Chains A and B, each alone.
Chain A
Amino acid sequence: MNRREFITTGGALIVSFSLPAFGQKLPGALDKEPMLDAWLRVGTEGITVFTGKAELGQGIKTALLQIAAEQLAVPMSSITLVTADTARTPNEGYTAGSNSMKDSGTAILHAAAQARELLIAQAAKQWGVAPDQVSAQAGEVRGPEGKRASYGALVQGDLLHVRAQPQSALGKARTVMGKAVQRVDIPAKVTGGAAYVHDLRLPDMLHARVVRPPSYGARLAALEAEPVSSMAGVVKIVRDGSFLAVVAAREWTAVQAMRALRSGAKWEEKAKLPRDIYATLPQLGSQDTVIAGADTTPPPSGRVIEAEYRRPYQIHGSIGPACAVARYENNSLTVWTHSQGVYPLRGALAELMAMPPERIHCVHMEGAGCYGHNAADDVAADAALIARQVPGKPVRVQWMREDEHAWEPFGPAMLGKVRAALDASGNVNSLQYDVWSNTHSSRPGKAGELAAAWSLAKPFEPSPPRPIPQPEGGGDRNAIPLYKFPSRVTHHFIPEMPLRVSALRALGAYTNVFAIESFMDELALAAKADPVEFRLRQIDDPRARDVIRLAAERFGWDKYQKQNGRGRGFAFARYKNLAAYCALAMEVNVEREAGDMRVLRVVAAVDSGEAVNPDGIRNQIEGGILQSVSWSSFEAVMYNDTRITSRDWGTYPILRFSHVPQSLEVHVIDRPGQPFLGTGEAAQGPAAGALANALAHATGVRVRELPFSPRRLRAVLSA
């Protein structure tokens, strides 16, 4: 029976499912891809669920499987999940912004629930009984008198090829959703399974390495290639303008050949990097937008307090340098990539390679954690360009550590200035915040966003940088305080980029929450108020109050006894002012002479809406906190007038186990039935704020420039 027959034979429920619901917004990413069978297919061989989002180590596969399993009333193990793939899955843009649960999770929740109802209706119709006498359980539909049918047997023709409805009868049982189900990807990762694109081995695969220029815009002026082209095992030297790469049969040969090629390359360098970025940023010229309080907020007057906060360039710093495999044959290109956006990457590659997009197939495979827009897309472009020079052979390209450190797009340096006045009762009567930042997204979509494209004989220019608009914001993400006092906030968007920058986890929220939450403590101190009480009296949102109170209570905030050298700090934010709520308290110990700060313990509370996998949320929050402690304690990109000079983990140190807290608790507030809010970027801003506040409490010295490195702490604490 096909869909038309359904409609003409007219089961009422089926017809209602088949009619498009124009004009009504559909849940999550169904609004962009409304066909149920784009998300879910049922065949005699089993159930397949499709997502346009990618596993980045955040556990999205497991959470999506939990959702689908719950709504379809099947075991998770009976579902095959297909992630981001331009030939198979919906186009969900980038896996970014903590949006995967909100977009894809919500879409699959409703698609699966609606598919279940269609299966029930189909069985009811076949059996001639009322749908309410039929139920879905244990992977089959059951009816009166022991009637049973498998999903596969019920799905005929176009049953699921229908447009989604705005509302669904969501299963509320929570037998799988809401449970700390073990991640499906971990067993392979801890047993040496092929888990990453790095592990892809195709027949006849070649290995390539790229000789990256020594600095931005450097031109390859001369090249002595001969010793390399005659090296045993070298297949080809690829040169296009200043794009230089070498292909070899074996990986180690490719590395050695790349090094030899590099020493035979002469470059003309022209980059001029700024000496003092914080003095430079406001002078570069900005597009200024008042994003809050334009008309309503009086300038602070009376007892005015002001401060300036600074955040340097920081790297994503994936532990595994970026990798891709590409194969070019018969005018078609296949790229296996850990890009966060296979469809946008395909578009960029199409422009780069002058190929129609439909001849390019991008398949997501996991990489090492990316934490935003790192070199994943760049290396995919490298692989594509190189693969075209050796048609028919798959080419695996991996960046070297120094490529990753020097060439990935950094998290932008930022500057925030805040002024506020307290009234007689110690409440804030007005606050003014100005933030200066470059863009926080130079993601591909265009060829000019791919590093290799700048070096080609016919180069592509980067697209003009653009701000990410409110309410999500880029540099101004979380720039508007969520507290109830009036705030006037101005985003000074700086198009000119002295260093290459793009999306680093939490974007501007990391800096803005660091600034605002540091300043809240400075105000609390001036008002002689307890920092937690000071926040609570200026915020009404009950969910915000819940996380603040829970974190404080579990930390033992009210019972805290300050010891010499130690201090406690608190901070809160709601990510993007519209997603997950996170509050946390931490205690640090500071050794003044060494400038050494260690976090002793952390207690966090998070509300991500309905918690599909509470342990997945805890894992993300723990990671967000420790990553932010690392950024905030150690990290700044180093550069001279021309070159990035922090090119390894020695010159760009990050958190090691010596500075890992003794304890870290995450308390999840579950809100069944509430929208999924996402989790991956909720903790970074609050962790930086709490760390700054704990440092100030421990030492009596307020440090407003990140990172709180031993060198900086020695300087400020001895002053």
Chain B
Amino acid sequence: MAKLDVNGRMHEVHADEGTPLLYVLREELALNAAKFGCGLGQCGACTVLADGEAIFSCITPISVVQGRKIRTVEGLGTAEKPGPMQQAFIEAQAAQCGYCIPGMMMRTQALLERKPGASEADIRAALQPHLCRCGTHMRIVRAAVRAAELMRGKS
């Protein structure tokens, strides 16, 4: 039985250790935010953080994230009390279908924790592994820039 630290809580999971983290998050832990998109690490929809690093959970077996602090969009806040990243995406209305958005948010979160003063160019470069099919890119960039401001304490 593997132990996973997800959003600050320890979970004992039954999946065998070759199982990609995504399936454990979605099925065993009933977390919705990380999404299956390609299973190949090509689209970014499954992106979560492991010790602050953005990883593709669809191709990362749970064996390699044991002992690391895993974070998902659920750990950033709630619909009632959204965190700064979530608040920024709501303010910017940065979603159409929204399926790709949690992955974008976690990638941006990793960037901003590492580099709080990240520029728009930094954000665009960081988001290169992520696909959005609705064409919401302009709003995603705007939301990420806004999230940086909110996280620096600017209202």
Contacts and interface: CB of A to CB of B under 8 A. Distances in A.
Decide whether A and B assemble into one complex: yes
Interface of A: 56-59, 182-183, 185-196, 198-199, 201, 250-252, 255, 317-321, 366-369, 371, 398, 400-401, 615, 619-620, 622-627, 629-630, 648-650, 654-658, 660-661, 663-664
30 contacts: A59-B96, A182-B90, A182-B93, A186-B89, A189-B102, A190-B98, A190-B105, A192-B73, A192-B102, A193-B79, A196-B32, A251-B27, A252-B27, A317-B133, A318-B99, A318-B133, A319-B37, A320-B97, A368-B97, A401-B39, A619-B96, A622-B136, A650-B40, A654-B131, A656-B130, A657-B137, A657-B141, A660-B137, A661-B138, A663-B138
Contacts of B125: 657
B69 interface: no
A524 B131 CA distance: 37
A620 to B, nearest CB: 8
Interface in B30-48: 30-33, 35-40, 42-43, 45
B57 interface: no
Nearest to B136: A623
B99 A319 contact: yes
Contacts of A648: 38, 40, 42
Contacts of A201: 30
A190 B95 contact: yes
Given A188-B79, A190-B73, A660-B141, A57 B134 contact: yes
B82 A660 contact: no
A454 to B, nearest CB: 25
B3 interface: no
A175 to B, nearest CB: 20
Contacts of A368: 35, 97, 99-100, 133
Nearest to B126: A657
B40 A371 contact: no
Contacts of A649: 38, 40, 42-43, 131
B43 A319 contact: yes
B138 A191 contact: no
Q: Which of under 10, 10 to 19, 20 to 34, or 35 or more describes the interface residues of B?
A: 35 or more
A191 B15 contact: no
B101 interface: yes
Interface string B69-110: 000111011110010001001100101111111100100000
B152 interface: no
A367 B39 CA distance: 17
4 tightest A-B CB contacts, nearest first? A57-B97, A626-B135, A189-B98, A369-B97
B132 interface: yes
Given A250-B15, A650-B42, A626 B32 contact: no
B75 to A, nearest CB: 9
A493 B93 CA distance: 41
Contact of A660 (B15, B30, B43, B124): B124
A191 B78 contact: yes
A186 B37 contact: no
Contacts of A194: 32
A622 B138 contact: yes
Given A192-B31, A654-B133, A657-B128, A320 B36 contact: yes
Contacts of B27: 250-252
Interface string B4-41: 00000000000100011001001100111101111110
Among B19, B27, B100, B134, max chain A CB count under 10 A is at: B134
Given A195-B32, A319-B37, A190 B86 contact: yes
A657 B96 contact: no
A615 B15 CA distance: 44
A60 to B, nearest CB: 11
Interface in B103-130: 105, 124-125, 127-128, 130
Given A188-B79, A654-B131, 4 more contacts: A192-B32, A319-B132, A398-B36, A648-B38
Contacts of B79: 187-188, 191, 193
Interface centre among A58, A252, A255, A658 (most CB of B within 10 A): A252
B99 A192 contact: no
B134 A627 contact: yes
Given A369-B133, A660-B141, A195 B96 contact: no
Nearest to A201: B30
Nearest to B73: A192
A336 B154 CA distance: 43
